[in-house]
Amino acid sequence: EDKVVQSPLSLVVHEGDTVTLNCSYEVTNFRSLLWYKQEKKAPTFLFMLTSSGIEKKSGRLSSILDKKELFSILNITATQTGDSAVYLCAVKDDKIIFGKGTRLHILP
């Protein structure tokens, strides 16, 4: 059965800390992996990864994919309270499968 598993489920850190969120997957026909940030509304797109070993970076956020080990990580450095959200990982094969998300809470 195709699945996407995110860990940890929940994370609480202090402002300024660095966090690493994990996403592992098992799908039949991998095409791409996407990361989204969801606050109290619709998910907003962060990254799309299709190739192993190439880091995508946007400000304090970065992500990388390992297609051999079937996982991706999302790093957030120098966290801020505005980073508090649920981070969703999704994998596209013939359909789209989302993980249950990691709930990140940043304490001031």
Partner 1 sequence: DSGVTQTPKHLITATGQRVTLRCSPRSGDLSVYWYQQSLDQGLQFLIQYYNGEERAKGNILERFSAQQFPDLHSELNLSSLELGDSALYFCASSPPGGAAYNEQFFGPGTRLTVL
Tell me how far, at minimum, the Cβ of 69 lies from partner 1, in Å. Answer: 21
The residue from 10, 20, 44, 81 that contacts partner 1 (CB under 8 A) is 44
φ/ψ bin of 75: left (φ > 0), alpha (ψ from -120 to 50), beta (otherwise) = beta
Q: Decide if residue 40 touches partner 1 (CB under 8 A).
A: no
Q: Are 49 and 72 spatial neighbours (Cβ–Cβ below 8 Å)?
A: yes
Task: Measure Cα distances from 89 to 22, 39, 40, 94, 95 in Å.
Answer: 9, 14, 17, 16, 14
Minimum Å gap between C-beta 12 and partner 1 is: 20
Is 37 strand, coil or helix? strand
Using the contact rule CB under 8 A, the part of the chain among 13-21, 31-39, 59-67, 70-78 near partner 1 is: 31-39
Residue 68 makes contact with partner 1 by CB under 8 A: no
Nearer to partner 1, 15 or 92 (CB): 92
Distance CA 57, CA 74 (A): 10
Stretch that binds partner 1, among 52-60, 65-73, 74-82, 98-106 (CB under 8 A): 98-106
Q: Count residues contacting partner 1 (CB under 8 A)? A: 22
